[in-house]
Chains A and B, each alone.
Chain A
Amino acid sequence: MSRSRRWINAQPSMFLKITLGLLPFLVLLLVYQYQSDARKAENPKDKLLPSFSEMSAAVDRHAFQPSKRTGQYLLWRDTASSLTRLLSGIAIAALLGLTFGLATGAFPMFDALSTPVITAISLIPPMAILPILFIVFGLGELSKVVLIIIGISPFITREIYLRTKEIPAEQLIKAQTLGGNSSQVVFRVLLPQIAPRLIGAVRLSLGSAWLFLIAAEAIAATDGLGYRIFLVRRYLAMDVILPYVVWITFLAFVLDRLLILISQKSFPWYHDD
């Protein structure tokens, strides 16, 4: 009899790996289906665990039928509004984080000047100043975008600062022996190496960005994915909420994948290691 492998050494085959990966999803769906059926058997009007057909009807209403009140296709309109807010918030936060992170990482004088205040700002819980944002920037688009910016740019700044510091001093010295001045070292040595790490930092902050977006939309908005789920919560419309949550999760997944893809295409030297 051949000796069996220890569990810490047992590797799944490709087929087994995919099967094992899908298994929990299947179990979750089956458990849901079973529970939903059980509740419906007791009370056909139960709203807590809607059946899959109810949910697909809700998706059809929101995605493929114009709204009776406004004539718009709600899901697409919500998606467009939310993504606009999310992406502009992330883009501005990334730019801010890159600028301050790189400047503090590269210039010790600027580091001394701004790192204490950036650290202090990063400790403020962003949700605590949401009322201030609403007062200062009004209830429009700006305050929602600003919440995302305030929420994630300290993290990106800190991340870029650390990654800049991580670049070996040997490279900076080498660049100077090749005749580089401060600005040339920043633009030819630091920035190109920080660019893929910025994408990494943005990926890590995507989760928080979604959190701040949905929170802001829940409190003050007239459209958006977060607005919709909090609106229909009043009617206990789980048949709308659940598909919206799945859709948001899917968007988050696609955004993350897209960032990896851009990074791999643009910076092959960073990913081949």
Chain B
Amino acid sequence: MTNTEPLIQLERLGKSYNSNCVLENITTSVNRSEFITLVGTSGCGKSTFLKLLLGTEAVSTGTLSIAGAPVHAEPSPDRGIVFQRYSVFPHLNVRQNVALGRELEDTRIFGRQFNAKRKQTMEEADHWLKAVGLQDAADKYPHELSGGMQQRLALAQALLKQPQVLLLDEPFGALDPGIRKDMYQLVLKLWENHRLTIFMVTHDLAEGFYLGTRLWVFDKVRHDPHEPELYGSTITYDLPVDERGDARRLVEDTLTNELNKDIPQKAAL
């Protein structure tokens, strides 16, 4: 297929659990290299939408296709993921964590590589560690890393597989404001350098405007006061974020203020 065709197409997509309708009637398409940020109140279905893309939940109605093929309801290497926590393997050091994605391509049962192949994989892992700024921590275990460094590692793991779509599930929600600022720069740099297609769920509207090229707001358009579970959410706003410069400055100011608020409090202790 050509690059001008949309990478992801959604046709009257819906998701419900028994009688509880979470998502309904979503029709849209996403091109390669778009950076979609998903926002909305908690329980609005933005995380459920990400699970449909990831394949941990199955589509109930309508269709969801990536590169022309309907998504298989199981995670696979064409869709990379970074969760808020627990995305890295505690028993492997940083380099082994990244190398795992390549090692699993060999020996179908044990997923290990040896000798020259292994050496090549480790070099490739180091390349990705450098891309996320973790080259000096290659021999450490995840518990020795800060929260921000663990998320960098999770990104490197996902990037090694060069997925068609990168999914981020509130990846910076547990980080300090200062660290978050660095992570924004990293994600934007990776997105630009590797022409990634990214979906990111966030509860922070400013973050959504700051990072995305397109911001989706999930909300319900129909309400039944007697049966609140009858109708699901849909994309109520699909905003192109063209003037990212302004939004970025706003967010940088907010984060800097937050940071400054933090410092005198800590100093006073």
Interface residue ranges, A against B (CB under 8 Å): 168, 170-171, 173-181, 183-184, 187-189, 192-193, 267-270, 272-273
Contact = CB atoms under 8 A, between A and B. Distances in A.
A193 B90 contact: yes
A177 B165 CA distance: 11
29 contacts: A168-B85, A170-B85, A170-B86, A171-B89, A173-B54, A173-B75, A175-B89, A175-B104, A176-B74, A176-B76, A177-B54, A177-B81, A178-B100, A178-B161, A179-B105, A181-B108, A183-B108, A183-B109, A184-B108, A184-B111, A187-B109, A187-B110, A187-B111, A188-B110, A192-B92, A193-B89, A193-B91, A269-B142, A273-B143
A187 B89 CA distance: 13
A168 B86 contact: yes
Contacts of A171: 86-87, 89
A173 B80 CA distance: 10
Contact of B104 (A173, A184, A267, A270): A184
Nearest to B157: A178
Contacts, number: 90
Contact of A188 (B54, B79, B81, B104): B104
Interface in B50-81: 54, 56, 74-77, 79-81
A174 B157 contact: yes
By secondary structure, the B interface counts as loop
B158 interface: yes
B110 A177 contact: no
A177 B83 contact: no
Interface in B135-160: 141-144, 154, 157-158
Nearest to B163: A177
Contacts of A170: 83, 85-87
A168 B88 CA distance: 10
B196 to A, nearest CB: 14
B101 interface: yes
A193 B141 CA distance: 13
A177 B158 contact: yes
Contacts of B109: 183-184, 187
Nearest to B142: A269
Interface in B92-130: 92, 100-101, 103-105, 108-112
Given A170-B83, A177-B81, A178-B104, A188 B111 contact: yes
Closest 7 CB pairs of A and B: A184-B111, A176-B75, A168-B86, A178-B101, A170-B86, A179-B77, A269-B141
Given A170-B85, A269-B141, A273-B143, A184 B110 contact: yes
A48 B110 CA distance: 60
A188 B75 contact: no
Most buried by B among A171, A179, A180, A270: A179
A144 B108 CA distance: 40
Most buried by B among A170, A177, A180: A177
Nearest to A172: B75
Given A188-B104, A270-B90, 8 more contacts: A168-B85, A177-B76, A177-B158, A178-B101, A184-B108, A187-B109, A187-B110, A270-B91
A62 to B, nearest CB: 46
A267 B93 CA distance: 12
Most buried by A among B104, B109, B142: B104
A267 B92 CA distance: 10
Contacts of B108: 181, 183-184
Contact of B79 (A177, A180, A187, A270): A177
A180 B92 CA distance: 15
A183 to B, nearest CB: 5
A164 to B, nearest CB: 14
A183 B83 CA distance: 23
Contacts of B112: 188
Contacts of B85: 168, 170
Most buried by A among B74, B79, B83, B163: B83
A168 B77 CA distance: 19
Nearest to B160: A178
Nearest to B143: A273
Nearest to B85: A170
Contacts of A273: 143
Contacts of A188: 100, 103-104, 110-112
B104 A180 contact: yes
B56 A173 contact: yes
